[in-house]
Structure 1
Amino acid sequence: MASLIEDARVERLLMRDYPGLHSLWGAFHTASGERGMLTFASLAARLARALHDVSYEDPNEWVCKGRRLFDAIAAHHEDIAACHEVADILAVDLAQMRVRFDVSSYRAEPRYRDDNTYLWTTESEAVHARMEWAPDATDQTTARPNAVDSMRLLDHPPIETEAWRAYRYPEWHSRVGLLLPDWTCVYDRAPAAEPLSGSERVNAGLLAVRQALPSGWQRPPRRLRRRSEGAELDLDAVIDDGIARRMGVAGDGRIFEQKRRTPPSMSVLFLLDLSTSTNDRIGVTQQTVLDIEKEAAATIASALEPTATRVALHGFSSNGRHDVRYTRVKDFDEPFGKAQRERLLAQKGALSTRMGAALRHAAAQFDEEQSEAKLLVLVTDGEPSDVDVHDSMHLIEDARHAVSALSSRGILPFCFAFDRDGHRYVRTIFGPGHYLVLNGAGNLAQQVSKVLASLR
């Protein structure tokens, strides 16, 4: 789109000085709405004709919108930034219309125009040079904070906020077996809090969840050997002590064993799907999926607050590969207090679900955690999707690759899906035994507590 609008801009400026070029170039503009299909190539050719020929009328609203936007800046065609803004608006509209762009078959129309591939030569060569063969999941999915690039990428950040950082992550392309480096950009930010409301529902299942967790949320007793006192004998110490006595050496008398219960060393990160579809209502109570997620997250965080288990609550949504939005509601080092509760209740469902990038960024949050057990719990209502991807299996395979890489970092994944057809893709992504498909609202918090209890 940037190339098309730039060509039209330059041609307008040339025709202003050399009017004869209008009829010369006009002979090549043959695209029309009567025989045009709703493909990128067809729509682009029709828009190019509409921008060149004022007498041409096209029935498509997108083409008409492109002409209106371009004509609105007709007096300022030297303003390149304004033309780029028009191209951005039209490109976003095409993405929302789910118009597919096939780079392998695309040819610029009309034919006298160059396809402007030289503009992208440097970027394309750099990307191909940095591609890595990755037949197996490795820690190549580590985040790369972009301190310098982020300033360029975030001239217009997706949401105005004082606290954000940009991170680049790869994405797995299953058809060619490549891990595309720096393919996605994750914007990590803390949301502004809103007035606290609806907290009475959060506490409704708190008692049931605490009862479902093991007493004191503890691991099996730890054996402390070679003690000077205790309830049981340490058989190895008794034997060593007997051998020492037969050799004429005085034993130290530490022949007892103690059992001591210690709190588990565990870090749990709850990753909540915050896409538009979580606003759908399900079950008899007609709660939205997002309301269920909030209630369960708050209940679990409150139940584990007095224990030694470290809990983080994060969420995500996406608007294409360059705009994956990651929201921190509660970090591991934060208490679950009023501010965190307000952040949670303030979340709204919007945009799409680029799951792989969010999982990679969530995995990076465990890097500073010293816990013996690390658990990443994803709560979602549907399969991965995004506005710039038309092959649903691409994002499913990318999410599967991101999950398989978690084991190399010592992270155990688990998924709760509110989708009756979820078995089809959740099993592919997380594998058997690592997911649970929920057909209705149920009590998500109690289901999560059962998973935690099984890991003691």
Structure 2
Amino acid sequence: MEERVGEIWHNFITRLADKNYPDAEVELVNIKKTIGIFFRALGGDGSLSVAQTDESEYTSERSFLKRIARSSEKYEFAWIDENSLRLPKVIDYFPTKALNKDLYLWLAALASISKQSDSWIIDNQLRTQCALAAFPGLKNLYQRLLTAHLEQRPELDKISKDEQKTESIILQALNHSGSVVALPKSKYMPRPVTLWLHPNPPNALQKGDQENLKDSDNQRTDKQKDATDIGKKQAKRVDSPDEVRGLITVRMENLFTWGEFANMDRSTDDDEDPENAKDVAKDLDGLAIARNQRASKVQMKFDLDLPSEAMDDEVLEEGVLLPEWDWKKQTLIQDKCQVVSMVSTQQQDTSLPDHLKATAKKLRNQFQAITPARTWHYAQSDGQEVDLDAYLKFKSDLMAGQHDGKSNLYKELSSGARDLSCLLLADLSLSTDTWVNNDSRVIDVIQDSLYLFAESLNATGDRFGMVGFSSRKTNPIRIHTLKTFDEKYSGKIRSRIAQIKPGYYTRMGAGIRHAANLLKEQVATQQLLLILTDGKPNDLDMYEGRYGIEDTKQAILSARAMGLKVFCVTIDEKGNDYLPNLFGTNGYALVRKVTDLPKTLPMLYARLTL
């Protein structure tokens, strides 16, 4: 009975202390796509995704009700890290859904403005000024939010004198952006400002911290410096997991985020190589530490070994070095990636699969219709018939003594020519092993797409090549040759297509650079690089996230600078989140139904080349 009464009292006093509005809440998951479009439209970094933020400890002076409820002060602030715009999972601060939705939009607008100052209060004031000046249409929205927020701020005569000074400064900063340069000294932070970004985002070292870190480094050994160079991490103590959970089957390419739980009582290291352990620590946003009395019993290392030489494709060429863009250093690192060109050793003549024959016949008929019609070509040096007009002109010039020595007296009936070359670059990474229904995988759909693509282009007579790629870190980038530009489409090419299988990872920047170099060697007025993929760029090392996106973007810009037309076809449902930043709004197509890809790919090609 006592426990029941205590639970009722706790729930009652907590609701009174929190003063949120659950009935008017707006969830990020329902507005995430809109926020992403809005953020990028205002000039926000297009490579950033929209993600959920985490609760942060925030030591402001608690109200009387919160002290009674003994509720800890935690808050979900908006902030930006290297890969994401982070926003609260739920916003229910205001009594209406419209205001809560407006707050999401305002925080995205504020985040689209570049950092103005290292001081939290100055930075948010200047961001507010810049946002309102750059986007006048937001003024009414901001005024509504400001009015609602000011009503929620504490009354000055109901808080301590020490907090009154801080609160007065905050009110001045909110009402007159840019008028405040510093906060008075206090043991507490001001009450959370709903309309501003995070006062101290995770992984952001303050200037004083950086100076202290530098001073302490001078007094440490080289080994200690390596540990310090990893950077300060936001740490929190958590309860130890009750049990060891089994491995859940997921899309393997996404298994790149290291778990942030550190078992401090383990008797063995997670990695025999200390350099690898240091790299892992660098990439962690925070560390969660728990204490238990048992040693770690389970270790998991995930990597993919290359197949044995006997079971692998034949190597055509290796040692081709390519650069890679390091977005943190903003520089192109030369000779970073090594490409290995390969071809299947199983090249027996193979016929088109039976389930594709009807579709292939239909596509061939459609593509033959876009082939230029057969026409007479006049004044040729050789041909099927005499060109009477050319002959009469020749005789007239000869009799007048004006003959130039040329005697192109024939005409020939032949088809027109489309002066273009296309290279299809297919993503053959491990994620293509995913099943799309009960009887086929993504790799099977890609295989069918390659068959029909080749059948269609063979009908037009267009010059085309096809390669697949996957990677395992920077060495090797495996390029699987399916058809070169000089090869005629045949049963041997179909045999290579039949042999494709899921590979490793997706270092897309290297794949695009190599494909661009192959395509540039072709002499044609129109050169199309067509990329077929099922997901984001990623690899085992730092290539996941922002690094991979930025390198791929630079590779695309480089290919376009060569004069190539670059277009991407994807089946990734989340493609709209990052592909506009990479290829532009008109530079990609998302095929939502995976099984439609085989017949859609040739038609996209036809649309791009007409």
Which category of TM-score, normalised to the shorter sequence, fits these structures? 0.5 to 0.7
TM-score for the superposition, normalised by structure 1: 0.58
Within the alignment, does 1:163 sit opposite 2:315 as a pair? yes
Q: CA deviation at 1:205?
A: 1.9
What is the CA–CA distance in structure 2 between the aligned matches of 1:380 and 1:323, rounded to whole Å?
A: 19
In 2 relative to 1, CA 360–436 (structure 1 residues): closer, same or farther, beyond 3 Å? same
In 2 relative to 1, CA 388–60 (structure 1 residues): closer, same or farther, beyond 3 Å? farther
Aligned residues: 326
What is the CA–CA distance in structure 2 between the aligned matches of 1:169 and 1:271, rounded to whole Å?
A: 17
1:346 paired residue number: 499
What is the CA–CA distance in structure 1 between the aligned matches of 2:266 and 2:325, rounded to whole Å?
A: 36
1:301 paired residue number: 454
What is the CA–CA distance in structure 1 between the aligned matches of 2:373 and 2:308, rounded to whole Å?
A: 43
2:440 paired residue number: 287
Picking from 275, 280, 305, the partner of 1:99 is 280
Gaps of 5+ in 2: 1-236, 239-258, 285-304, 381-385, 390-396
1:433 paired residue number: 586
The SS at the match of 2:321 is strand
2:539 paired residue number: 386
What is the CA–CA distance in structure 1 between the aligned matches of 2:492 and 2:345, rounded to whole Å?
A: 9
Q: CA deviation at 1:307?
A: 3.9
What is the CA–CA distance in structure 1 between the aligned matches of 2:280 and 2:470, rounded to whole Å?
A: 21
Q: CA deviation at 1:194?
A: 7.4
> Structure 2 counterpart of 1:208, which letter?
K
Q: How does 1:12-27 map to 2 (within 5 A)?
A: none
CA RMSD of aligned residues (A): 4.7
Within the alignment, does 1:274 sit opposite 2:428 as a pair? yes
In 2 relative to 1, CA 200–332 (structure 1 residues): closer, same or farther, beyond 3 Å? same
> Structure 2 counterpart of 1:217, which letter?
T
2:483 paired residue number: 330
Within the alignment, does 1:185 sit opposite 2:338 as a pair? yes
In 2 relative to 1, CA 380–260 (structure 1 residues): closer, same or farther, beyond 3 Å? same
Picking from 400, 403, 419, the partner of 2:572 is 419
Picking from 462, 465, 476, the partner of 1:312 is 465
In 2 relative to 1, CA 100–376 (structure 1 residues): closer, same or farther, beyond 3 Å? farther
In 2 relative to 1, CA 378–286 (structure 1 residues): closer, same or farther, beyond 3 Å? farther
TM-score for the superposition, normalised by structure 2: 0.44
In 2 relative to 1, CA 202–225 (structure 1 residues): closer, same or farther, beyond 3 Å? same
The SS at the match of 1:365 is helix
1:241 paired residue number: none
Q: How does 1:26-425 map to 2 (within 5 A)?
A: 60=266, 63=268, 87=273, 91=276, 99-101=280-282, 160=309, 162-164=314-316, 165-193=318-346, 199-213=353-367, 215=369, 217-218=371-372, 261-282=415-436, 287-389=440-542, 392-425=545-578
1:9 paired residue number: none
The SS at the match of 1:348 is coil
What is the CA–CA distance in structure 2 between the aligned matches of 1:396 and 1:224, rounded to whole Å?
A: 52
In 2 relative to 1, CA 251–319 (structure 1 residues): closer, same or farther, beyond 3 Å? closer
2:247 paired residue number: none
What is the CA–CA distance in structure 1 between the aligned matches of 2:543 and 2:537, rounded to whole Å?
A: 11
Q: For 1:323-373, what per-residue CA distance to the aligned partner results, in whole angstroms no more than 9, with x for missing partners?
A: 221111221112232332222222211321110000000111124312222
In 2 relative to 1, CA 407–218 (structure 1 residues): closer, same or farther, beyond 3 Å? farther
Q: CA deviation at 1:400?
A: 1.3
In 2 relative to 1, CA 221–415 (structure 1 residues): closer, same or farther, beyond 3 Å? farther
8 Å CA contact 1:304, 1:311 repeated in 2: yes
Instruction: Give the greater-gyration-radius structure (CA).
Output: 2
Q: For 1:399-434, what per-residue CA distance to the aligned partner results, in whole angstroms no more than 9, with x for missing partners?
A: 111111112222211111111110111121111222
What is the CA–CA distance in structure 2 between the aligned matches of 1:420 and 1:221, rounded to whole Å?
A: 46
Q: CA deviation at 1:169?
A: 0.9
In 2 relative to 1, CA 404–230 (structure 1 residues): closer, same or farther, beyond 3 Å? farther
> Structure 2 counterpart of 1:345, which letter?
A
More moved, 421-430 vs 298-307:
298-307
In 2 relative to 1, CA 172–225 (structure 1 residues): closer, same or farther, beyond 3 Å? farther
1:117 paired residue number: none
8 Å CA contact 2:422, 2:519 repeated in 1: no
The SS at the match of 1:203 is helix
Q: For 1:141-183, what per-residue CA distance to the aligned partner results, in whole angstroms no more than 9, with x for missing partners?
A: xxxxxxxxxxxxxxx9876254241211111123332111111
8 Å CA contact 2:364, 2:455 repeated in 1: no
What is the CA–CA distance in structure 2 between the aligned matches of 1:311 and 1:448, rounded to whole Å?
A: 14
Q: CA deviation at 1:101?
A: 3.7
What is the CA–CA distance in structure 1 between the aligned matches of 2:376 and 2:552, rounded to whole Å?
A: 37
In 2 relative to 1, CA 157–364 (structure 1 residues): closer, same or farther, beyond 3 Å? farther
The SS at the match of 1:400 is helix
What is the CA–CA distance in structure 2 between the aligned matches of 1:362 and 1:172, rounded to whole Å?
A: 17
8 Å CA contact 1:380, 1:417 repeated in 2: yes
In 2 relative to 1, CA 251–331 (structure 1 residues): closer, same or farther, beyond 3 Å? closer
1:5 paired residue number: none
> Structure 1 counterpart of 2:486, which letter?
D
What is the CA–CA distance in structure 2 between the aligned matches of 1:407 and 1:202, rounded to whole Å?
A: 34
Q: CA deviation at 1:220?
A: 11
In 2 relative to 1, CA 198–447 (structure 1 residues): closer, same or farther, beyond 3 Å? closer
What is the CA–CA distance in structure 2 between the aligned matches of 1:169 and 1:58, rounded to whole Å?
A: 41
Q: For 1:65-85, what per-residue CA distance to the aligned partner results, in whole angstroms no more than 9, with x for missing partners?
A: 76xxxxxxxxxxxxxxxxxxx
What is the CA–CA distance in structure 2 between the aligned matches of 1:220 and 1:412, rounded to whole Å?
A: 28
Q: CA deviation at 1:380?
A: 0.6
The SS at the match of 2:280 is coil
> Structure 1 counterpart of 2:280, which letter?
V
